[in-house]
Structure 1
Amino acid sequence: MEKNDDILPAFFCVPDITGFTRFIASADITFSKDFIAGLLRRLINANILQMNVGEIEGDAIFFYKTGRLPAIKQVAKQCKTLFETFYNYIDMVQKEDPENYEKHLANGELGLKIIIHFGHISSANIKGRTKLIGEDVIITHKLLKNGIEEYEYILLTESYLNKIKKKDVSFWFHWDELKQGTEEYDHLGPVHYYYIPYRRQAADAAQPAKP
């Protein structure tokens, strides 16, 4: 194993499918395996920020980007594109495979949440595969399990907001109220964040106010 000990600043964006475990446990495997594979492919192709794919964890895609931090306008656009891609795929299944849609998707139990974080990474090469290492990698994974009661949302960590000097995120993420939260993780301490519940109709209809 060869190690790369360089520590790099990194932007993280992790779309995660809400309700994935319940869906896999209850849906016909002949449908669910093709549905999830198609959904993940589309979410990866919706990568307008040209991020790297660190790993795919069944229900989540671990995007990251080193180098220059994307502008908050582009981050908001990326998040909305991911939500639109998710729902466009659901709508396509409804039209092309109504029987399976009614059987497995019509109850609306599948959704999407997105974790946005900024931190630092190092990497190791393990048999030709790059493995990301670092506290911020762990934090990003941990945040996929949190106390937010909303079904769909965008979570922006305080580390990310501090990096962009807490610019007016409500101007770009404008479809709902910005809320605050904190998670406490063993060995990591408190992780502070803000989140915006995602409302599909509100996001489709809303237009950002002019600065």
Structure 2
Amino acid sequence: MEPQRAVLLIADISGYTEYMSTHRMSLAHAEVNTARMLDKMIDAAPGYDLIEIEGDAAFLSRPAGPGGTTSADEATVAEILDVAAWMHSAFHREREYVAKNLCPCSGCKEATNLKLKFVAHVGDVATQTIRQRRKLVGIDVILVHRLLKNPVNIPEYVLMSEELYRLADPGLADKVHEITPDLEGLGQVRAFYLDVHTLEARQPALAAPSWPGRLGRTFSAAGKGMPYILGLRRPRVRTP
């Protein structure tokens, strides 16, 4: 298939390895709770297709221009930052609800230690379908994944490739910081990041969960975690 221009966005949950406790009950609840957070994040990204769940991360994409056009100039940074803000807000709202259920296990109570970071890029991709699963391939797909390993020293951020940052409004320059990571197989590249907390999500304040709501979420985590406890399902792992 002929390559197409696309926006590539990875939302990556930080602290996942430590969160996935070795205790079987905690592990089961951690897996269920992480799935709930990922679901809420994906729902908060209208117009984006979920390409794959990669363990603790969601890999999403959309055509670079409205209506499937291939103009990279129309892939505005402002829109991507809005989506990152909505996803970040949805993640934290669900994370707080998880931590406030009535289950005392570490898989529930330690959810507050999780953070969320984003890597975004615009580039050329091709589509492959293998056993009815759609995958994106190409050097730009590799690049956006390689950028997950970077020297950014704040826990929650949006990191943009140089190609994407070039499309940004010049007024964004005062908010971003430049890094030049040396990526495996790709060499040194320029990238730009900003603190995700500087973005406005425009969502209502989190309502305090009711006791029935907390109880319902507790039973939900217990029920959905049972297949992991029984060994019928295994936790997700990140795709290499």
* TM-score bin (small chain): 0.7 to 0.9
Amino acid in structure 1 at the alignment position of 2:77: I
Q: Secondary structure at the match of 1:96?
A: coil
Q: Could you list the per-position Cα deviations for residues 123-160 of structure 1 after superposition, in whole angstroms to 9, with x for gaps in the alignment?
A: 22212222211000001111111111211111011110
Structure 1 pair 169–30 and aligned structure 2 pair: CA distance change class (3 A): farther
Matched residue, 1:195: 193
Matched residue, 1:14: 10
Matched residue, 2:56: 59
Quote how far apart the aligned CAs of 1:187 are: 2.6
Matched residue, 2:97: 92
Unaligned runs of 5+ in 1: 207-211
Quote how far apart the aligned CAs of 1:37 are: 1.2
Structure 1 pair 64–15 and aligned structure 2 pair: CA distance change class (3 A): same
**Pair 1:42 & 2:20 matched:** no
Asked if the contact 2:38/2:91 (under 8 Å) is kept, the reply is no
Give the TM-score, by structure 1 length: 0.81
Matched residue, 1:117: 121
Quote how far apart the aligned CAs of 1:110 are: 0.8
Asked if the contact 1:94/1:101 (under 8 Å) is kept, the reply is no
Determine which structure has more spread, i.e. the larger CA radius of gyration: 2
Matched residue, 2:238: none
Quote how far apart the aligned CAs of 1:26 are: 5.4
What does 1:1-211 align with in structure 2 at a 5 Å threshold? 4=1, 6-25=2-21, 28-48=26-46, 50-68=47-65, 69-97=74-102, 99-100=104-105, 104-105=109-110, 108-162=112-166, 164=167, 166-168=168-170, 170=172, 177-199=175-197, 203=199
Figure out how many residues of one structure are paired with residues of the other and give that number: 192
Alpha-carbon distance in 2 for matches of 1:16, 1:32: 16
Matched residue, 2:211: none
Quote how far apart the aligned CAs of 1:98 are: 6.3
Percent identity between the aligned chains?
25
Give the TM-score, by structure 2 length: 0.72
Amino acid in structure 2 at the alignment position of 1:36: T
Structure 1 pair 10–102 and aligned structure 2 pair: CA distance change class (3 A): closer
Amino acid in structure 2 at the alignment position of 1:88: R
Q: Secondary structure at the match of 1:25?
A: coil
Unaligned runs of 5+ in 2: 66-73, 203-240
Bigger mean CA offset, 23-32 vs 180-189: 23-32
Quote how far apart the aligned CAs of 1:100 are: 4.2
Q: Secondary structure at the match of 1:149?
A: coil
Q: Which has the higher contact order (CA 8 A, sep 6+)?
A: 2
Asked if the contact 2:15/2:115 (under 8 Å) is kept, the reply is yes
Amino acid in structure 2 at the alignment position of 1:24: M
Alpha-carbon distance in 2 for matches of 1:32, 1:103: 7
Quote how far apart the aligned CAs of 1:169 are: 5.5
Amino acid in structure 1 at the alignment position of 2:184: D
Alpha-carbon distance in 2 for matches of 1:30, 1:205: 31
Amino acid in structure 2 at the alignment position of 1:53: L
Q: Per residue, is there more strand in 1 or in 2?
A: 1
Asked if the contact 1:23/1:104 (under 8 Å) is kept, the reply is no
